Amino acid sequence: MLSIDPSKRSSLERRICDGDLVIVYERHDKVKAVRVQKGSDFQNRFGVFKHSDWIGKPFGTKVLSNKGGFVHLLAPTPELWTLVLSHRTQILYLADISFVISYLEVVPGCVVLESGTGSGSLTTSLARAVAPSGHVYTFDFHEQRASLAREDFERNGMSSLITVTVRDIQGEGFPDEFCGAADSVFLDLPQPWLALPSVRRMLKQDGVLCSFSPCIEQVQRSCEVLGAGFTDIRTFEVLLRSYEVREERIIGTEGVQDSPVGSLPRKRRQCISRDVNNDSKEITTTISTVVARPCRETRGHTGYLTFARLACS
């Protein structure tokens, strides 16, 4: 993962090499992760793209296919990885991830415990946040999921920042070796209240917990237990609304002697054309202007984020 390496913060300083992971960008809702291999090619509706043409080019380059179509080759970042990873479980998306990292106060050097590795979406962003001297210890009870996540982290060059362990945190709690060592803890469990006694022992003084729950009943049960040993308990639901901003043409008519009715302010007009109809004595006016509308498909409820701070003893 390019942005996790402190010596390679800028993608403009790196050129694509054989074996690199590249994010192929067609449009905002169509991206794909591709491992560059000399002699291979990538095919989509725009044509065939040869990997050999990509090698040596800087990240961000626009490349052409055999048919003249194009894609952009982007550097892999945690944000883009969230959009292209394999969904082994429900994942957290960028709105929730950014909120979690901010409220957990995760900074370089932090030690973070995570229960519920899943597909590794949040884990990847946590690793970027704690780099270069911190570490993320993530646990999952499902052995196959944990193994696949570990392979992803190794392929993406993040194994030095992430340790994956198979463990049932609800039933066994976190390992004793982390007692009083965690700056932050994140739980994504069906019954998070069962893990809270262990979380209290793991957190440093004034450490912060976040629990992700899809149902409000889980939140209510967790908050009842959090009352013992935690303070500053708050629950949030993050809803993201996207907008489409694009140029459109507005067509209207007006009488020759009349002034325009309902015309847009002059500062918004980009291109105006007029066609006079001599028979009806009307003028057809076409105005090109930029409009903004909410996207038709807006991501709704994902879950509730409950935060709590370990009370000072």
Q: Which residues are annotated as a binding site?
A: 119-122, 140, 168, 188
22, 16 in Cβ contact below 8 A? yes
Amino acid, res. 145: R
Which residues define the annotated binding site for S-adenosyl-L-methionine?
A: 119-122, 140, 168, 188
Candidates 127, 237, 141; CA nearest to 194 is 141
**Any idea what DSSP says for residue 11?**
G
Cα 19 vs. chain centroid, distance in angstroms?
A: 24
Alpha-helix residue ranges (DSSP H) falling in the chain: 51-54, 78-84, 94-103, 121-130, 143-155, 169-172, 196-202, 216-226
157, 5 in Cβ contact below 8 A? yes
Distance CA 89, CA 303 (A): 14
Distance CA 103, CA 226 (A): 17
Residue with tokens 């194994």: 159
Candidates 94, 93, 8; CA nearest to 59 is 8
